[in-house]
Amino acid sequence: MRGWWRHRPLRFRLALWYGMGGTLLLTAFSATLYLFVAQRMAAPLNEALQQDLTEIQQRLKIDDHNQLYWDGELIARGRGWNSEDPWFELWDEHGQLVSRLWPFARSRISRVPTAPARGSDTLSVFRVAPDLRLRTFSTPFKVPGRDQTWMIRVMGIHQPAADALGALLLIILALLPVVIALLVAGGYLITRRWLKPLERMVAEAEGITADRLASRLPVGDAEDELGRLAAAFNRTLARLEDSFRTLDRFVADASHELRTPLTTLRSVGEVGLQRSRSVEEYREIIGSMLEEAQRLHQLVERLLELASAEGGAREVHAERVRLDEFVAACVAELGILAENRNQQIVIKAQACDALADPVLLRPALHNLIDNAMKYSPAGSTIRLVVERAGGECRIAVIDEGPGVPPGQRAQLAERFYRVDDSRVRVEGGFGLGLAITKAYLRIMGGRLEVEGVPTGGSCFSLVLPERSRVAADP
């Protein structure tokens, strides 16, 4: 049953639930309405019978010979009964009629009530003539002065208003199935109309392939649930499209970067084989080939490093890192390179504990310092600032190079991206350093920021979460 239910269309299940819920509510409402009306209509009649019963118990007496006395006077057999007095029947312990007192002649009655069930209170309606119905109340009657229990039936005219209960019940039984059928049909049509945008979304989504990532799902009403769902899918498709576009560009750029050293290797080898050469010439040719092979090896390593960082293969072992001491150690490692360029590295640091992985943080900081030295002229000063603000720790690397135009700063961390010729390295680069740095910062929960310097140059910042702030968060 559960498997059958799961394989039904959503609109079918919604319509069925809608119909079942409506059926239960309508049935409960109809039953409550009928019982309420019946109680309200029957209450006065039942109350009148109870009053008659009380009056009978006060005015009726029975002697040892089963003769009845009303207000102390013997009730003669066959005498007419005053219609103003209560009407009633008495049945003995053997179920035999003792007396029936009502104001109707024998010729008026076509059918008399049967004996009441002994030992219980019963409300009944009897048709004693084609145009006459009696409402009765039967209850045990303790005979005064005897150890006998008879049955007494108090009677009264059944009011025509009570007949409306039967009509009400008939209306409920006749119309309830029709209303339920209309409810189910209406629920199916409504849910089908409500789910129509979802069907259009499914049809459009089935046509989206890797060649049609620019397609988007239709958004009907952006404020309802289906509209927000379509908008969320469209944002996901936009991210996928950007990822595929970036991947295509990465493959194209990587192919171009790999083609250059491979072409050089082939060209140098072909030139070396064109004629016989001396040992020194062959040594020079082999040296050139080794240089290109080394460059190719470095490029492949950088690509693998970037793929490992962005693919989540690198494990992060976050720990407390004292950034002022960490920066001083990194500068000491690169100090010899600054001396070779006649550059000076100045550190301005305040005590700051960050939560980071030192294995990943070291190459990220090395990339920034290395870039600052290569893009800054000889004799310049490179400043490193370590500061704490807003629950974060920041390592700023400020160079005195040509700077980066504001419109190109957002693209600096893209793979193989290079700025104009003013920032092209003399040694030649791959344009992967900042991309790797950004990937490392991302998996450590930090970020890479770049901004200009008013006096010239650029400021690249590594922003990391402060250890005390992270430890305080739940």
Task: Confirm if 319 and 357 have CB atoms less than 8 A apart.
Answer: yes
At residue 418, the pLDDT reads: 59
Residue 180 lies in a domain: no
Least confident of 35-39, 262-266, 438-442, 448-452: 35-39
Most confident by average pLDDT, 74-78, 113-117, 237-241: 113-117
Q: Supply the mean pLDDT for the chain.
A: 79
Residues 17 and 163 in one domain: yes
At residue 162, the pLDDT reads: 53
Residue identified by tokens 């259009």 is 200
Task: Confirm if 60 and 69 have CB atoms less than 8 A apart.
Answer: yes
Strand partners, 345: 382
Q: Tell me the pLDDT band of 411, cut-offs 50, 70 and 90.
A: low
- Please report, for the domain that includes residue 238, its CATH number: 1.10.287.130
For the chain, what is the domain count?
Answer: 3
Least confident of 31-35, 222-226, 257-261, 357-361: 257-261
At residue 470, the pLDDT reads: 45
Residue 176 lies in a domain: no
Q: What percent of the chain has pLDDT over 90?
A: 10
Residue 186 lies in a domain: no
Residues 359 and 459 in one domain: yes
Strand, helix or coil for residue 445: coil
Residues 383 and 467 in one domain: yes
Least confident of 31-45, 156-170, 417-431, 451-465: 417-431
Residues 281 and 331 in one domain: no
Of the residues 288, 310, 332, the one at which a domain ends: 310
Instruction: Look at residue 101 and tell me whether its pLDDT is greater than 60.
Output: yes
At residue 150, the pLDDT reads: 92
Instruction: Look at residue 271 and tell me whether its pLDDT is greater than 80.
Output: no
Q: Check residues 79 and 181 and name the one with the higher pLDDT.
A: 181
Q: Check residues 53 and 241 and name the one with the higher pLDDT.
A: 53
Strand pairing category for 458-465 and 392-398? antiparallel
Angle between helices 433-443 and 279-310 (to 10 degrees): 30
DSSP-assigned letters across all residues of 168-235: HHHHHHHHHHHHHHHHHHHHHHHHHHHTHHHHHHHHHHHT--GGGTT-----S-TTSHHHHHHHHHHH
Residues 242 and 340 in one domain: no
pTM, to two decimals? 0.45
Instruction: Look at residue 175 and tell me whether its pLDDT is greater than 80.
Output: yes
At residue 307, the pLDDT reads: 64
Residues 135 and 61 in one domain: yes
Read off the pLDDT of each residue in 348-355 and give the average, rounded to a whole number: 89
Residue 57 lies in a domain: yes
Instruction: Give the domain range for residue 269.
Output: 225-310
Q: What percent of the chain has pLDDT over 70?
A: 81
Residues 451 and 338 in one domain: yes
Residues 280 and 373 in one domain: no
Of the residues 145, 167, 189, the one at which a domain ends: 167
